[in-house]
Each structure stands twice: as structure tokens, then as C-alpha cells.
Amino acid sequence: MLADCCFCITDFKDSLNTVYSAIEEADFLAIDGEFSGISDGPNVSALTNGLDTPEERYMKLKKHSMDFLLFQFGLCTFTYDQAESKYVIKTFNFYIFPKPFNRTSPDTKFICQSSSIDFLASQGFDFNKVFRHGIPYLNQEEEVQLREQYEERRSQSNGSGNPSYISPNSNKGPGSIPEEHREYIGRVVEKVESLFTTSEKTKERYIQISKVDDEERKRRERQKQEREQEELNDAVGFSRVIHAISKSGKLVVGHNMLLDVMHTIHQFYCVLPEYFLYCFLRLLDTKLMATTQPFKVILFQVFRLTAEGFPSYDTAQEQLHEAGYDAYITGLCFISMRYNATLTSHVFARLFLMRIIDIPYLNISGPDLQPKRDHVLYVTFPKEWKTSDLYQLFSAFGNIQVSWIDDTSAFVSLSQTDQVQIAINTSRYAESYRIQTYAEYVQGRQQVRESQGHSTQSWDEDGWVKPHYTSPSTVGAGPTGYSYGHRHHLNKKSHSHFPSKERRHKNQKYS
């Protein structure tokens, strides 16, 4: 049975309770996002240097990937039915579009990348569903702003709890009347009052004016407030689903999910912090699991999983790269892996890092791994140089690995650490290029950081940076033999931690 359980703005509101229940009863959730692009930087290799630190990678993605739109969100809920010994799976596909809510609401701009759009087009992605019928959203900042707008308008029209009232004979009340207008206003009020004494209806279009008692006025105000609350909910739109996932505290599974998580926070929650040390979601990245387990083999061993009462995907039929389907497959893989291997606490809260040679994941619940990289050289050279020039320069040293930083610098990893000093000595009198050890390079950056108020770090005897503190859940060496480093800006004040709802509202300007 092929799923077409996708929600647009037309059916979103009616489906919301179904979504809420599915989240509430689930054992775990799987998510996936489709974006309008990946990188607005010059190219992907500049975005993903093989020797990035997790923090550097995060900063690059924050800078170069957040102006794209997450325009399809896939959610799949997995609930184990003990009696039937099988999983009940519910799949939801949401199309997302920041349709301006009213004249004062933000007119969002987002970037599209041709290659990404073309790829989705080739997969049959329905752009009309996004742009014509996408579900709107607000981040928490915008939600607060809009709520304040409503409240301000209400308190303005209410004065101090009294209905608005203009008297032509008084200078008091909301909006005092200048002397020169008093006569005119007086005449208007007379005309309005005369309307109550006549039942004549001569016009097709008219303004209905009625005198109401206090009871009736309060009833009408309650009605208006309810209407406004509903409008507000409509504007918050898809963000309500993210709030529900966050509040549920359920495990959220994704595959190579770093960008999905960043976009989700950025779009539906708040401006991304400088680095996320703690996240409001309990996360598990199956891509990270797959790097240490026989993922693909397991995938084809997937048990009979049936969905009850919900349309499900026929795994034989290719629906890859629809967000809901990707979330579905991710969930199946997670179940398979869980059946076939004991999950240790070490796989949680760690997001897979693509194309980093020696750091497999970003740790959102504690300090990141920090390899010493003592076989790595930092090389600067004229901007005409190509990879082949670097290969030639190091031709005496056997196999090398080049990780470009920018036009005039790159990391060069040697196969043997004891060659590092030879390379440095050889380069001493060179004029066109310059070689530093990785430690020297880090120290240079560190000095800049320290002058900006960042803390220092020291090396552990294992070759990892010594942590200044230990996180309870990730203490000591993990199963891979890594130990844990110190995150640079732990001593910085607010922005190294994921900010609480309340604090952000007060600190940040509406953008």
C-alpha cells in the first residue's frame, strides 16, 4: 500500500490531534527533512574540510546552509504492540511554506539551489504542494511578537478594562479631540445616535451599530479572544508539531541528521546558538550506527512490519527522498539494528559528521572528541597552487591526504608521524610556501581566541585534549577508544548552551 499521508495547509488543522496522539503513544519517532538547497558557499569541498572540528563544521553549516528552506518534513511514529508482537507505524508528510500571515508578519526569503531542486524534481517532488498549500510556521520569537501584537491591540481597544468611548464634550478618554474638530465630531455622534431611534434601512451596505450591556460586551470580547487565539495557532502552524515532539521527550531517530536537526531548530524554534552543547531533543543518528555495524545487510533482513489503520509504504516500491518515506526507512533500520545489536548509551545524542577523517560525530550532550592530529601539517602557499603541486612537494613522503582549507592553505596528512619534523625542517628555507604542525596551527588560532576571552586547553597523554569537566553520560573512553575533549567556549556566558525558551524571548530582537 503506497502512502500518500501528506498534510498541506488545507488538512493540517484537522489532522493535528491525530499527529499529537501518534507522538504521544509512540515508542520512538523517526524524522527526515527535504531542503531547497545544501550550501550557498563556493562549493561543498570548502564547506566540508576533512579535518574540520565538530564546532567548525557546525559553524560552517550555520553560516552556509540555514538560508535554505526545509520545505518537507517527514515524521514516522513507531509503537510496539506487545500483544501482536509487531510495530504499529504511522507516517506523516508535511509540506512547509512560510506564507506571510498578515501585513506585519515577516516576509521570509529563502535560497534555492538548482542542483538540489533538480534532484528533487527528478524524484517527482511536488513543488506546487509546497508553494501553493504549504503549512506556515513561526519560531518562538515570532510567536511571542504576534501574541504581544494581539495583546497590545486588545489593551488599546479596551483602555483600562472599559470599552472605547468617545465623548464630544470631554477631553478625557482615549484620543482627546482638538478644539477645532469638536463641532464636527459632535455632529457625527448625533447622527450615530439618531440611528438608534430609526429602523429605516435605505442602503445595501451599512455599518451595524448596537448598544450592548456589560454582559454582552464581555461575551463578545471572549469570542474575539478565542478567534484571535485560533488565528495565532494557525500562524504558529507546523511549529506546533515540533513543540509536541520536543515536549514528548521521545527518542528521535534520523539518518545523517545533523542538517535536519539544525534546520528544525532554526526554522521552528529559534536562531541557532553559537554551538549546540545541549539540545531539547533526544536524538539518535542511524548513520553513525551504520558506520560501526553491518547496516546494509541488516536493512535487507527487515522483519515483517505492518502498519495498522494508516497507509504505509511498500518498501519494494521506491519512494526514496520523500521525507516521510526516508523517515520510515530510518525507523525500520533503527529497529533492525536494535534487534541485532545491543545499543549502548554511546550512540545517543551524537550526530554523524560527513567527510571528517577522524571525528565520526558531533556530541550534543557533552564535549566533542578532539584528536591530536600529530601527523597533520598546516601548509600555506600561493593561490595558483593545485592539489598536484602539494602531491609533488610531498612526493618523498609516500601517501599523503590533502584537505583544502581555502585558496592558499590546506591540511596535509602524512602517513607516518615521524616524517612531520623532516617536512618542517625541509621547508625552513622555502620562500613560496610555509609548513606548520597542526599543534602550532591550533595554538595560533587559540591565541586569537584567548585574546577574545576564550579558555585554554591542554593535551591528554592519550593524545586527546584534556577535558575541563566531565559529562556524566559520556565519561571516560567510549567503545571506539576515543576519549573526550573540551569544548572551546565552555567558559563563555550564555550562547554556548542551548538557550531556554524564556531567555531567548527576552534577549533577542525580532528578526
Question: Does residue 95 interact with a copy of itself by CB under 8 A?
Answer: no
Q: Whose Cβ is closer to a copy of itself: residue 116's or residue 471's?
A: 116
Least distance to a copy of itself from the beta carbon of 115, Å? Answer: 5
Cβ pair 35, 116 in contact under 8 A: yes
C-alpha cell at 35: 531542503
Least distance to a copy of itself from the beta carbon of 509, Å? Answer: 13
Choose, by CB under 8 A, the member of 104, 114, 160, 458 that binds a copy of itself.
114
The alpha carbon of 429 is separated from its chain's Cα centroid by a whole number of angstroms, namely 49
Q: With contacts defined by CB under 8 A, name the span among 20-28, 34-42, 179-187, 298-306 that binds a copy of itself.
A: 34-42
Q: Whose Cβ is closer to a copy of itself: residue 44's or residue 475's?
A: 44
Choose, by CB under 8 A, the member of 83, 104, 107, 509 that binds a copy of itself.
107
Q: Whose Cβ is closer to a copy of itself: residue 4's or residue 25's?
A: 4
Question: Does residue 278 interact with a copy of itself by CB under 8 A?
Answer: no
CA separation for the pair 12, 40 (Å, rounded): 31
Task: Report the site for a copy of itself in 125-184 (rule: CB under 8 A).
Answer: 126-128, 130-132
Q: Whose Cβ is closer to a copy of itself: residue 118's or residue 462's?
A: 118
Q: Of all helices (H) and strands (E), which one includes residue 507?
A: helix 501-507
Cβ pair 453, 463 in contact under 8 A: no
Q: With contacts defined by CB under 8 A, name the span among 107-115, 155-163, 358-366, 417-425 that binds a copy of itself.
A: 107-115
Ranges of beta strands (E only) in 324-372 are 350-352, 361-363
Choose, by CB under 8 A, the member of 15, 59, 86, 110 that binds a copy of itself.
110
* Nearest one of 409, 415, 437 to 425, comparing CA atoms: 437
Question: Does residue 97 interact with a copy of itself by CB under 8 A?
Answer: yes
Q: With contacts defined by CB under 8 A, name the span among 120-128, 157-165, 349-357, 366-374 that binds a copy of itself.
A: 120-128
Question: Does residue 88 interact with a copy of itself by CB under 8 A?
Answer: no
Collapsed DSSP state (helix, strand, coil) of residue 12: helix
For helices 214-236 and 140-158, the axis angle rounded to 10 degrees is 160
C-alpha cell at 8: 498541506
* Nearest one of 30, 14, 116 to 336, comparing CA atoms: 30
* Nearest one of 100, 90, 107 to 134, comparing CA atoms: 100
Q: How many residues bind a copy of itself (CB under 8 A)?
A: 27
CA separation for the pair 63, 56 (Å, rounded): 10
CA distances from 221 to 154, 230, 339, 356 (A): 9, 14, 57, 59
Q: Whose Cβ is closer to a copy of itself: residue 115's or residue 345's?
A: 115
CA separation for the pair 109, 131 (Å, rounded): 13
Question: Does residue 112 interact with a copy of itself by CB under 8 A?
Answer: yes
Q: Whose Cβ is closer to a copy of itself: residue 99's or residue 338's?
A: 99
Grid cell 451595524 is found at 208
Q: Whose Cβ is closer to a copy of itself: residue 21's or residue 115's?
A: 115
Least distance to a copy of itself from the beta carbon of 99, Å? Answer: 5
The alpha carbon of 234 is separated from its chain's Cα centroid by a whole number of angstroms, namely 20
Q: With contacts defined by CB under 8 A, name the span among 121-129, 151-159, 407-415, 475-483 that binds a copy of itself.
A: 121-129
Q: With contacts defined by CB under 8 A, name the span among 35-43, 142-150, 155-163, 290-298 that binds a copy of itself.
A: 35-43
Cβ pair 368, 55 in contact under 8 A: yes
Choose, by CB under 8 A, the member of 22, 36, 307, 487 that binds a copy of itself.
36
Determine how many CB atoms are found less than 10 A away from the CB of residue 504.
Answer: 19
Choose, by CB under 8 A, the member of 37, 324, 366, 467 that binds a copy of itself.
37
Determine how many CB atoms are found less than 10 A away from the CB of residue 331.
Answer: 27
Least distance to a copy of itself from the beta carbon of 112, Å? Answer: 6
Collapsed DSSP state (helix, strand, coil) of residue 298: helix
CA separation for the pair 337, 16 (Å, rounded): 31
Q: Whose Cβ is closer to a copy of itself: residue 132's or residue 492's?
A: 132
Least distance to a copy of itself from the beta carbon of 404, Å? Answer: 18
Question: Does residue 98 interact with a copy of itself by CB under 8 A?
Answer: yes
The alpha carbon of 462 is separated from its chain's Cα centroid by a whole number of angstroms, namely 35
CA separation for the pair 385, 399 (Å, rounded): 19
CA separation for the pair 396, 423 (Å, rounded): 10
Least distance to a copy of itself from the beta carbon of 126, Å? Answer: 7
Least distance to a copy of itself from the beta carbon of 160, Å? Answer: 24
Least distance to a copy of itself from the beta carbon of 125, Å? Answer: 8
Q: Which residues bind a copy of itself (CB under 8 A)?
A: 36-37, 40, 69, 97-100, 107-115, 117-118, 120-121, 126-128, 130-132
